[in-house]
Structure formats: C-alpha cells, structure tokens
C-alpha cells in the first residue's frame, strides 16, 4: 500500500511539475485531441499571443477560431501530423482575435498520455525576428546599391581621360558575366566578377594620356609603364573592403597559367578564378576591337587566340565557356556608347 501511495504521489508531483512548466512557458502551448483536433488545453502565453481567452479556445478547433490563415493548408497539415506524428513550420502566419497577422514558428508532436494520444502544439512568436530580418535585408540592399554606385564612379573616373578604356572595361564586364554565367558560378560570385571587370584597368589613370592614346607602337619603357597599371589599380583598391576578391582580380588579370604573364609571373592555381575569367574576356575584347595604334583583328581571330592558349595561358574551362557563348549562344559585345 505504501508503494502504491508512493507511486500516486510521484505521479501527482510529476503532473504538478508539468503544469508549472505549462503555465509559465514562454512559448504558446496548445493540447489538441488526436482524432478531432479540438483544443483541450491552452497555456497563458498562447491566450495572450492570440488574444483569445482560455474559455474561447477550449473545445474549438484551431482553424475554427480563425487563427489559421489558410484553413485548407491547416487541415492538410493535421492529416500529415496524425500520420507522421510530427510537423514543423519555421514561418507560419497566424491571425489574432483582433485580425492582426503574426509570424510564428509552429511545431506539433503527437504522443501518448495514459493510453490516449494527444497533439501538443508549441508556438513561438517570431514577428520581431522577421522584422529584424527584413530590416537587415533592406540594409544589405542599400549597401549593395552604394557599392555598385561606388564601383560605377571608379569605372567612370578613367572615361574622362581615356574613353577607349572606359568602354573596354564595360564590354569586358559584359563578356565576363556571360562566361561566368555559362560556368554556372553562384550569382554572388558573378556580381563580384562584374565589379572587378568594371575597374580592372582603373590603374591606367596613373599612365600619361599620350601613352594611352599613342597612335604608334610603344617603346619598351612605355610598355613597362603601361604594364604597371595592374599594380597601380591594386594599390588603389586593396584598402576597400569588398565582399569579393576584386583587388587581387585586378592585380592578376594579366597573369597567365604558365607563368608568362605579369606583374608577378605567378602560375596555375595561384591565379584566382576571377582573374582567369577577366584574362580571357580582356584578351577577346582587346584583340577584336580597334586600338589607337592598330585596327582590331576581329572576333574570330580573338577566339582562335584563346583556343590556342587553352590550358597553357588560359583556364580551359573559361575558354570553353567563352567559345560557347560566342559560337553557340550567339553572344555579341554591346555597342560602344
């Protein structure tokens, strides 16, 4: 008899502990009948959250009181819950008694109690979290706009001194995006490549205008001066905290896989992916377009050049993608403005 009383007392103590947790929980809790979905119990947090009294909730179905915005979806979820014993929504809209829509995290479990099965719904208000997420997205969007405007401003700096280089950068950016898209690179990566391309020759603002526009071949000294534009561009960009590898892409876009490029003659995988794409796009645009000191050789000659240098000078995957966008997809450079 003592043992039986002890078990009964333990059961009461366990029930008391559960009720205390139930009543003081900082999440909404509803207990539903397993077969019908009728609400059997509701804790204070959920009544405050939804604006209904406990008496208004008990004996009703959750979709009957109008809390579920999509009744059909709620009934389907209830069927799944009875079958699987568990269901979770990370962002579920609920309607309060005052018609206000709130966002909640909704988790339901089915389990046995004294031989019967019940459903426990745990409901957490995430409205503040969703608001913060929205504000963060708006902030990130604003930052992205500002970053684009900054890059566009940098890209336009050189236009005043050398319209050819300004147009060249925009056309290289257009082709680089087409290549990166063909390679199925992530959108975020493609955006970084576009921005790097738009400023890849920004260092040329340190080169005298008469050299940039010289109508005859450059001397060795002038070639060396011109080649220094990649280092100058890197030095201008390296202190800007872009979320992409822009400064390195600018520094390396004339490097080649076999080490024959400049300024540091690096080889193979040391050349970053962004620079490999810029290197191909830059070569094709430069060869196919007119320069102050020569006529362009045309697209066919430019594509033949990168094909011959595939896997030696240029990344084979980048070359393959570039050839496809021209020969299969019919890509053409945008007109110079």
Q: How far is it between the farthest Cα atoms of the chain? A: 112
pLDDT for 5 equals: 56
pLDDT for 218 equals: 84
Tens-binned pLDDT, residue by residue, of the chain (337 aa):
445 557 666 667 666 776 787 888 888 999 998 888 899 999 999 999 999 999 999 998 877 877 787 878 788 888 888 888 888 988 888 889 999 988 999 998 888 877 678 889 999 999 888 888 889 999 888 988 888 888 888 888 887 777 778 889 999 999 999 999 999 999 999 999 999 999 999 999 999 888 887 888 888 999 999 999 999 999 999 999 999 999 999 999 999 999 999 999 999 999 999 999 999 999 999 999 877 667 779 999 999 999 999 999 999 999 999 999 999 999 999 987 6
Residue 305 near residue 286, CB atoms below 8 Å: no
- Render 295-318 in DSSP notation, one character per residue: ----HHHHHHHHHHTBTTTB-HHH
Domain segments of the chain: what residues? 12-125, 131-327
220 vs 324: CA distance, rounded Å: 36
Residue 67 near residue 97, CB atoms below 8 Å: no
Cα-Cα-Cα-Cα torsion 326, 331, 332, 337, nearest 10 degrees, comes to -140
Give the other-Cβ count within 10 Å of 217's Cβ.
9
Give the other-Cβ count within 10 Å of 34's Cβ.
18
pLDDT for 2 equals: 46
Strands 101-113, 28-33: pairing kind: unpaired
Instruction: Report pLDDT digits (tens) over 202-259.
Output: 999 999 888 887 888 888 999 999 999 999 999 999 999 999 999 999 999 999 999 9
pTM of the predicted model, to two decimals?
Answer: 0.68
Closest residue by Cα to residue 289 from 330, 225, 253, 332: 332
Strands 39-42, 86-95: pairing kind: unpaired
What letters, b where the CB count within 10 A reaches 16 and e where it falls short, cover 37-65?
bebebbbebbbebbebeeeebeebbbbee
Any bridge partners for residue 42, and if so which? 30
312 vs 247: CA distance, rounded Å: 24
Tokens of 283: 């070569």
Its CATH architecture, for the domain 131-327, is Orthogonal Bundle (1.10)
Give the other-Cβ count within 10 Å of 77's Cβ.
19
The Cβ-side half-sphere exposure at 233, using a 13 Å CA radius, reads 29
Any bridge partners for residue 84, and if so which? none
Q: Peptide bond before 263: cis, by omega within 30 degrees of 0?
A: yes
Residues near 208 by beta carbon (within 8 Å), at least 6 away in sequence: 225
Closest residue by Cα to residue 67 from 84, 42, 86, 85: 42
Residue 254 near residue 279, CB atoms below 8 Å: yes
165 vs 171: CA distance, rounded Å: 10
First vs last C-alpha separation in the chain: 98
Q: Given 3.30.450.20, 2.70.150.10, 3.40.50.970, 3.30.70.20, which CATH number is that of 12-125?
A: 3.30.450.20
């Amino acid at each position: 008899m003592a043992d039986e009383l002890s078990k009964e007392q333990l059961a009461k103590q366990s029930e008391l502990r559960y009720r205390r947790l139930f009543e003081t929980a900082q999440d909404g809790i509803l207990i539903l009948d397993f077969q019908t979905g009728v609400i059997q119990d509701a804790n204070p947090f959920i009544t405050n959250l939804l604006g209904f009294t406990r008496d208004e909730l008990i004996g009703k179905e959750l979709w009957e009181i109008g809390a579920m915005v999509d009744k059909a979806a709620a009934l389907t979820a209830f069927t799944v819950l009875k079958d699987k014993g568990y269901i979770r929504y990370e962002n579920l809209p609920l309607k309060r008694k005052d018609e206000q829509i709130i966002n909640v995290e909704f988790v339901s479990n089915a389990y046995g109690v004294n031989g019967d099965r019940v459903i426990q719904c745990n409901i957490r208000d995430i409205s503040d979290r969703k608001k913060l997420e929205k504000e963060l997205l708006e902030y990130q969007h604003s930052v992205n706009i500002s970053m684009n405007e900054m890059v566009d401003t940098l890209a336009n700096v050189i236009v005043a001194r050398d319209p050819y280089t300004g147009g060249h950068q925009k056309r290289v950016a257009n082709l680089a995006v087409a290549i990166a898209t063909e390679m199925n690179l992530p959108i975020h990566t493609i955006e970084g490549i576009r921005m790097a391309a738009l400023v890849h020759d920004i260092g040329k603002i340190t080169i005298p205008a008469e050299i940039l526009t010289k109508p005859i071949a450059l001397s060795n000294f002038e070639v060396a001066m011109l080649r220094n534009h990649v280092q100058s561009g890197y030095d201008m960009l390296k202190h800007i905290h872009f979320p992409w590898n822009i400064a390195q892409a600018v520094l390396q876009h004339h490097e080649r896989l076999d080490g024959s490029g400049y300024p540091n003659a690096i080889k193979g995988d040391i050349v970053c992916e962004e620079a490999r794409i810029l290197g191909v796009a830059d070569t094709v645009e430069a060869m196919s377009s007119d320069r102050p000191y020569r006529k362009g050789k045309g697209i066919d000659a430019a594509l033949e050049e990168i094909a011959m240098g595939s896997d030696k000078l240029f990344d084979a995957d980048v070359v393959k993608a570039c050839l496809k966008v021209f020969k299969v997809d019919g890509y053409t450079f945008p007109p110079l403005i």
